[in-house]
C-alpha cells in the first residue's frame, strides 16, 4: 500500500523476483512448520539442501536486482524498498534455518 501511495513502481522482473523470494521462503517456512508442529524429522543433509536451494534463489535475485540497478531500470526509491523487502525475507529464512537446526540437533 505504501509503495503505491508513494508512487514506487517495480518492474515486471522485480515483481517476479519478489514472488520467487516469497515462494522460496514459504517453502522454508513449511518445512519448519512440519518439523515443529508435526514432528517431521529433518536430517543434517535435508537442512543443508534447504539452505543451499534457498541461498541459490536469494543469490539469483540479488544478482538480477544488481543488474537492474546498474542498468538504470531500478530507481532509487524502488531500490530501497526492494532491498528492505528482500532483507526481511532473508531474515525470515535464516530464523527458520535456526529453528530447523535446533530440531536436527535434538534428533541426533
Segment 69-82, tens digit of pLDDT? 999 988 888 999 99
Query: Using one digit for the tens of pLDDT, what is the confidence trace for 5-38?
Result: 567 889 999 999 999 999 999 999 999 999 999 8
Question: What pTM, to 2 d.p., does this model score?
Answer: 0.85
Q: HEC profile for 12-45?
A: HHHHHHHHHHHHHHHHHHHHHHHHHCCCCCCCHH
Sign, CA dihedral 64-67-73-76, equals: positive
Specify the range with the lowest mean pLDDT, choosing from 35-39, 62-66, 88-92.
35-39
Which residue ranges make up each domain of the chain?
Answer: 18-107
Amino acid at each position: 500500500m505504501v509503495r503505491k501511495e508513494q508512487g514506487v513502481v517495480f518492474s515486471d522482473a522485480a515483481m517476479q523476483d519478489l514472488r520467487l523470494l516469497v515462494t522460496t521462503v514459504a517453502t522454508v517456512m513449511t518445512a519448519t512448520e512440519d518439523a515443529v508442529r508435526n514432528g517431521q524429522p529433518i536430517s543434517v543433509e535435508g537442512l543443508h539442501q534447504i539452505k543451499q536451494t534457498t541461498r541459490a534463489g536469494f543469490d539469483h535475485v540479488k544478482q538480477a536486482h544488481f543488474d537492474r540497478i546498474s542498468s538504470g531500470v531500478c530507481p532509487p526509491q524502488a531500490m530501497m524498498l526492494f532491498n528492505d523487502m528482500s532483507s526481511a525475507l532473508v531474515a525470515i529464512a535464516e530464523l527458520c534455518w535456526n529453528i530447523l537446526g535446533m530440531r536436527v540437533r535434538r534428533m541426533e
